[in-house]
Amino acid sequence: MKSIGLLLLRLVAGTTLFVHGYPKLFGGPGKTPHPLLAKTMGPNYPAAVERSGPGFTAGLQRMGVPYPEVAAKASALTELGGGIALAAGVMTRPVALAAAFNMGVAAYKAHWKNGFYGQGGYEFPLLLGTACLALAFTGPGAISLDSLFS
């Protein structure tokens, strides 16, 4: 049962990271998500894709993040690639630590000023980062590629 619980946690956390990383990496003015993502993610997702990309980099710059272009790519790759890796259970512990760090920075730099609860609050990055930390501490479980190849 423990491995099923870890699989569920990895799938949900990984998918959530992936769909948040996709707009940051592939978004921008005039860009649209893959039709399957657009249909699955709902009516707000295409607008998020169009706002992101260079818009995410500009947001990091406004927040005073050093090297915002590099930080934006690192964040996007951590979320998109890390999301895929977590869902599959590949390099789970280091990927989960990287994702938890990414969520910690997001909570502090972008969401802290809005408080814990509500639109723009830090509750979501805190929850996702904590889920990633739990995976870093426990490992992926038996139903994972890490387990298959170790």
Q: What is the pLDDT of residue 150?
A: 84
For residues 101-130, average pLDDT: 95
**For the residues 62-76, what does the mean pLDDT come to?**
95
Work out how many domains the chain is built from and give that number. Answer: 1
Residue 30's contacts (CB-CB under 8 Å, 6 or more residues apart) are 50
Question: Is the pLDDT at 121 greater than 90, yes or no?
Answer: yes
Segment 19-42, tens digit of pLDDT: 999 999 999 999 999 999 899 999
Residue 75 has pLDDT above 90, yes or no: yes
Q: Which residue range is the domain that position 46 belongs to?
A: 2-149
Alpha-carbon distance 143 to 4, whole Å?
7
Please state, rounded to an integer, the average pLDDT across all residues of the chain: 96
pTM: 0.92
Cα distances (Å, whole numbers) of residue 27 to 15, 35, 143:
17, 14, 33
